[in-house]
Structure 1
Amino acid sequence: MSRRTVAVILLAVGFLGLPANAYIGPGAGFAILGSFMVFFLAIVAAFLAVLIFPVRAVVRMVQVRRQGNHPFVKRVIILGLDGMDPELAERFMAEGKMPNFKRLAEQGCFRRLKTTLPAMSPVAWSTFATGVNPGKHNIFDFLMPDRKTNLPVLSSTRIREPERTLKLGKYVIPLQRPSIQLLRKSQPFWKILGEHWIFSHVLRVPITFPPEKFYGAELSAMCVPDLRGTQGSFTCWRTERSGAKPTGGMELVLSKSDDGFRGFIPGPQNTLSASREELVLPFELKRRADGGWELRLQGHRLPLAEKKYSEWVRLKFKAAPGVKVSGLAKFMLLKAGDAPELYMTPLNLDPENPAMPVSHPGFFSAYLAKLFGPFATLGLAEDTWALNERVLDEDAFLKQAWDFYEEREKLFFHCLSRTRQGALVFVFDHTDRIQHTFFRCLDPSHPLYGSAEAEKYRGAIEEVYLRADELLGRVLARLGRGDALMVMSDHGFKSFRRGLNLNSWLLQQGYLVCQNGSGSAEMFKDVDWSRTRAYALGLSGIYLNLKGREARGIVAPGGEAAALRKEIAQKLTGLKDPDTGETAVLRGYDAYESLHGPYLENAPDVLVGYNTGYRMDWEGTLGSASARIFSDNLKSWSG
């Protein structure tokens, strides 16, 4: 490797978990409205691009001449491996299992960096992109409260339907575009590079939805919704109900027909219709001559094999005459025989014809899809909830995760070959998803460690690191003089053994009060806000019920709020788990002492620094409380 080649590994230590409502999205209606206007807007954009091209070309020539011809490096490659843990990486390097990482560390450098507070992907990657603390970029969690209702909403994106519409019979025609807004503030570094006419490819960096305009190309990732407007909801069909109540998807019943069964695929809400009905696609599941099953929909016949994924299937939902919205899904026959069971992935936006913007320029996703075929666009594409709820088993989940990885690998190496100068930033997130779902296999103290599944998949996480090393080797082989390489992570990984319900703790301490003396609250519906001073939402945040901010606030801003923040933070620090004797919370942080910036009013007032093994429990994430403060984590999501 050339001396001019700069090699850095940035592996930050931290701990992350996704909110229980990974399916809460920014709104489904945009899908239909976006499809309605996309053709017209594409024509206008293309026309304007042709008109202003000569002017842009002249400006660029002038700018390039001002830059000088001798930069220190010509090409910077930032390879993001979401959640790669420095301790595990060091262990595998020492064991000789990651020779390419070891070589890179020796020829460049290996450093552990402090991650963000709180240590979770949307927060850390936003700091990476902008170079500022959360108080300046406005991302503090996956979720934030709607201040009017205190219910959870997505923290990174706000979608609003058009205010001006025209009703024509049963249809409602939008007279303006829907609004879709990225809530992350401050400028990402690739936008600054673009102002100096340095081109960047930026693919799958979290919190880039909707994509921003800059001199470069971008493909969005984390928080891109599915076609229904959720953060990823699966569908499964059975011949009779299982009795389970899926949290992250839907269970539907097949109806008997000649030689098989009938069903329907639920799609997005039709916002072009006055009745706003859900769009659906009917399908049939028919017996083949060989005794197997065949899926028939939209004129296609798709042979299905048990425990095997189909290829991507393009599904088109008709919203109005001439208006169709397109999505992608894969199917798997979970169970064959006389009572078949069918699984469908979340409905991904179609990169060739996305109903919402997933790339900049708008044609970039279509260009990639034309080159390499359909690919997953959902921000959290790996279906962790289907695994949590045992709709998918470990083999099916891993197959899905690695299939998506291979799609992204093709995109990465294509962009690497096309980036001869400038910057390439690409984040792989299979490292995060597989560690989240298989850490129970590594931690002897985890309540699921002794299960047959944990025993069978002890090596699942090691494979992630070994294949990351293989990926790095292929990248190193493509480096030349004047190249700079960074391999980085946003946080590390620890086990999630025990859940702490912060709302239950607040209830016990008297900060949160339920109506009629009730000892529980489901998504805040039983909370007496006239007597509640604090509530918890998301993974690590406690919010004061502040006057002038919350609709039913009672805590006065200023001295009263500051004293309450300090009091809660002090009580949380050193909080013990009575069942294990362990310290569950290392420290409570007053956000106004730990963060700084113009967006602090949107931050949780108190941030929680958990000890290893602890996290907000699944129910508390959404605002529920019960008499039980601590509980075992018995889901596959275990890191």
Structure 2
Amino acid sequence: MQTSNRVLIIGLDGADWRVLRPYLNDGIMPNLAHMIETGVSGTLRSTIPTHSAVAWASFMTGRNPGKHAVYDFMQRAPGDPTRMVGANSRSLRSETFFDVLAKHGRQIGAINVPMTYPPFPVHGFMLGGMSVHEGKPYTFPESLVGELEDRVGGFPVNRIRWRYTLGRWEELLDEAIEVTKQRAHVLKYLIDYKDWDVLIQVFVSPDRLQHPLMHILDSEHPFYDDALAQRLKPKLCVYFKLMDDILGRSQQQVGKDAALMVISDHGFRSVHKSIRIPEILGKHGLLKTRPRAAAIRLSRKRLLRPVARWIRTAFPAVFPASNRNVGSPMQMTGLVWPQTQAYVTTNTSQGIYVNLKGREPQGIVTPGDAYEHLLDNIQEILLAERDPANGQPLIESVMRGKDSYVGPWVELAPDVLFVPSPGYMPAREAHLQSLRWQRGDHDLDGIFVTAGPGIKCGGKIDGAALVDVAPTVLYLTGAPIPEDMDGQVLDIFADQRLTSIPPKYEKSRPADYEAAEYTYTQEEELQIEEQLRSLGYF
């Protein structure tokens, strides 16, 4: 055995040092400050794209998307890559570190980790996270729902849908505080009354607050509102103190024999202008839409969608779901495929797909030289785009999907990936218009802090990545590490433990591993679509 530590992981979705540092400096988060002083801290590199579906999938597997097959909240439908269906836990095509722990007799508890709904069997317990279908079982075992309701009042699923409270910021903060408190009660109960070797709970409220409120959390935001910042400061202090109290109480509960790890799946940055990649492609003759398609889409979205959604939900037998599936994106509506060489699926994908012969149903680009030339052309176009108001580039970096990922599922990746420049984000607003409600978007660097037995005191770590967490947790528990994990065990130890007790590796589960398929019902599709929309992802 290498070590036999228990590990408690607190995930703070979207937490960023730039947001937390003022509260640390003002003494509002003393427990986090103590962890930094007595443990190891630094940044944690996320994935591309930087959203929760891909990031938490990479966290759970310790692998890049080329090995676990999740590239977006939506995935291209088998047999027709121009159609999209919702991604979920069954989309994972790689084993998780939960599976490895079970194989070696360790017990896992997973609470509200995105991409764990529908919940799947583990050696322990699970509360599925993100886009939970209300009214359907969301725990493993199913009996856990009733137990939590009886003992602590239940676990609030979904919630904090910030687009429903735009402008009513006190209401949003009150909900975030209420939901976080109740979820913390569940964590407290499960720590004390369940057996576990590794326990992970993800709190999504940082992400939900930073999307609409970065213009008061970042004093350098172009839309910074000092009056609003002062008005909301008391509630924000309550919220961040609550998060810190959760860390302090949890550390006391697990005692000195367990390591506490605080991570985020990505960071956050301020944004103020939209980028419309389809418009850029169209300007250069690479994408063609039907006349007035944009106007028709806009009117339908603003005027008819709420009514249509209510009708479909109230009368499913009379108005069955269309064949577009959940989330067939607006970017793909109205495309003239015979005149389209490249297209975008969703704003969250940070990618562009080629309309490739033999892959897309109406592909026009020939594989080989024509395909490679088109990729070069797209890269040059994106890097050359400038904001005429200030001359700033719109895109920070561009790369090819097949150069960015490795594994058996690379073929599912976008052909081109891009990272927007600071201040800009792909959005539904017109190209280079001020964003109407988004004030923050995901950034590549999240947070990492860990403290506990055998861990360095006051140490700093550079170059850590989200995929490194899984092998590090396995090493801490004494379990072997699958040989095809992309992550490495982080050097967080006070002694030379990695030299004296090197990590042990084992053969990975076959790469064609597939969990049991899960098909959404019409009602579930509508709920998921609405949930993603309420979080600004759709």
- The normalised TM-score by structure 2 is 0.70
What is the CA distance between 1:533 and its match in structure 2? 0.7
Secondary structure, aligned partner of 2:344: strand
Whether the aligned pair in 1 keeps the contact of 2:52 and 2:114 (CA below 8 Å) is yes
**Equivalent in the alignment of 1:592:** 402
**Equivalent in the alignment of 1:409:** 184
By relative contact order (CA 8 Å, sep 6+), the higher-ranking structure is 2
Whether the aligned pair in 2 keeps the contact of 1:495 and 1:638 (CA below 8 Å) is yes
**Equivalent in the alignment of 2:119:** 211
Which structure is higher in strand share?
A: 1
**Equivalent in the alignment of 1:633:** 435
Structure 1 residues 520 and 594: CA distance shift in structure 2, 3 A = farther
The counterpart of 1:579, out of the listed 348, 368, 389, is 389
Structure 1 residues 569 and 396: CA distance shift in structure 2, 3 A = same
1:503 paired with 2:278, answer: yes
1:525 paired with 2:333, answer: yes
**Equivalent in the alignment of 2:96:** 188
**Equivalent in the alignment of 1:562:** 372
Deviations 1:500-526 (CA, angstroms, capped at 9, x unpaired): 011111111111012359787832333
**Equivalent in the alignment of 1:76:** 7
**Identity of paired residues, percent?**
30
Secondary structure, aligned partner of 1:211: coil
**Equivalent in the alignment of 2:520:** none
1:153 paired with 2:55, answer: no
**Equivalent in the alignment of 2:344:** 536
1:400 paired with 2:175, answer: yes
Deviations 1:352-379 (CA, angstroms, capped at 9, x unpaired): xx43x3111122222212222243223x
What is the CA distance between 1:485 and its match in structure 2? 1.3
1:362 paired with 2:170, answer: no
Whether the aligned pair in 1 keeps the contact of 2:76 and 2:85 (CA below 8 Å) is yes
1:372 paired with 2:152, answer: yes
Whether the aligned pair in 1 keeps the contact of 2:28 and 2:237 (CA below 8 Å) is no
Q: Which amino acid aligns with 2:7?
A: V
Secondary structure, aligned partner of 2:261: strand
The counterpart of 1:470, out of the listed 245, 253, 267, is 245
Q: C-alpha distance in 2, partners of 1:419/1:438?
A: 37
Q: C-alpha distance in 1, partners of 2:253/2:20?
A: 23
Q: C-alpha distance in 1, partners of 2:226/2:25?
A: 29
* Superposition pairs of residues 109-508 of structure 1, within 5 angstroms: 109-146=40-77, 148=80, 150-154=82-86, 156-157=87-88, 182-225=90-133, 349=134, 354-355=135-136, 357-378=137-158, 381-388=159-166, 393-419=168-194, 421-444=196-219, 446=221, 448-450=223-225, 453=228, 456-458=231-233, 461=236, 463-508=238-283
The counterpart of 1:514, out of the listed 286, 289, 294, is 289
Whether the aligned pair in 1 keeps the contact of 2:81 and 2:359 (CA below 8 Å) is no
Whether the aligned pair in 1 keeps the contact of 2:69 and 2:93 (CA below 8 Å) is yes
1:608 paired with 2:436, answer: no
Q: Which amino acid aligns with 1:488?
A: I
Q: C-alpha distance in 2, partners of 1:96/1:445?
A: 22
Q: C-alpha distance in 1, partners of 2:74/2:392?
A: 28
What is the CA distance between 1:482 and its match in structure 2? 2.3
Q: C-alpha distance in 2, partners of 1:636/1:114?
A: 23
Structure 1 residues 442 and 480: CA distance shift in structure 2, 3 A = closer
Structure 1 residues 360 and 88: CA distance shift in structure 2, 3 A = same
What is the CA distance between 1:451 and its match in structure 2? 8.3
What is the CA distance between 1:152 and its match in structure 2? 4.3
Whether the aligned pair in 1 keeps the contact of 2:177 and 2:239 (CA below 8 Å) is no
Q: Which amino acid aligns with 2:339?
A: R
Deviation larger for 449-458 or 573-582: 449-458
Structure 1 residues 189 and 201: CA distance shift in structure 2, 3 A = same
Q: C-alpha distance in 1, partners of 2:127/2:20?
A: 28
What is the CA distance between 1:407 and its match in structure 2? 1.5
> What stretches of structure 1 of length at least 5 have no aligned partner?
1-69, 158-180, 226-348, 620-627
Whether the aligned pair in 2 keeps the contact of 1:203 and 1:426 (CA below 8 Å) is yes
Q: Which amino acid aligns with 1:556?
A: T
- The normalised TM-score by structure 1 is 0.59
Which structure is higher in helix share?
A: 2
Structure 1 residues 549 and 611: CA distance shift in structure 2, 3 A = same
Structure 1 residues 579 and 150: CA distance shift in structure 2, 3 A = farther
Q: Which amino acid aligns with 2:101?
A: L
What is the CA distance between 1:637 and its match in structure 2? 5.4
Q: Which amino acid aligns with 1:480?
A: G
**Equivalent in the alignment of 1:553:** 363
Whether the aligned pair in 2 keeps the contact of 1:441 and 1:458 (CA below 8 Å) is no
Q: C-alpha distance in 1, partners of 2:62/2:344?
A: 28
What is the CA distance between 1:88 and its match in structure 2? 3.0
Structure 1 residues 448 and 547: CA distance shift in structure 2, 3 A = same
Q: C-alpha distance in 2, partners of 1:461/1:582?
A: 33
Higher gyration radius (CA) = 1
What is the CA distance between 1:109 and its match in structure 2? 0.6
Q: Which amino acid aligns with 1:589?
A: M
Deviations 1:164-209 (CA, angstroms, capped at 9, x unpaired): xxxxxxxxxxxxxxxxx71122111111101112111111111011
What is the CA distance between 1:491 and its match in structure 2? 0.9
Q: Which amino acid aligns with 1:544?
A: V
Q: C-alpha distance in 1, partners of 2:130/2:177?
A: 17
Q: Which amino acid aligns with 1:616?
A: P
Structure 1 residues 638 and 497: CA distance shift in structure 2, 3 A = same
Structure 1 residues 188 and 202: CA distance shift in structure 2, 3 A = same
Deviations 1:86-139 (CA, angstroms, capped at 9, x unpaired): 233344334433221121112111121221112121111111100001111111
Whether the aligned pair in 1 keeps the contact of 2:124 and 2:196 (CA below 8 Å) is no
Structure 1 residues 527 and 71: CA distance shift in structure 2, 3 A = closer
Q: How many residues align?
A: 405
**Equivalent in the alignment of 1:86:** 17
Structure 1 residues 610 and 462: CA distance shift in structure 2, 3 A = farther
Q: C-alpha distance in 2, partners of 1:558/1:415?
A: 55
Secondary structure, aligned partner of 1:547: coil
CA RMSD of aligned residues (A): 2.5
Structure 1 residues 401 and 517: CA distance shift in structure 2, 3 A = closer
The counterpart of 1:99, out of the listed 30, 39, 47, is 30
Structure 1 residues 415 and 558: CA distance shift in structure 2, 3 A = farther
Q: Which amino acid aligns with 1:605?
A: D
Secondary structure, aligned partner of 2:385: coil
Structure 1 residues 88 and 377: CA distance shift in structure 2, 3 A = closer
What is the CA distance between 1:218 and its match in structure 2? 0.4
Q: C-alpha distance in 2, partners of 1:447/1:95?
A: 24
**Equivalent in the alignment of 1:272:** none
Q: Which amino acid aligns with 1:632?
A: S
What is the CA distance between 1:447 and its match in structure 2? 5.8
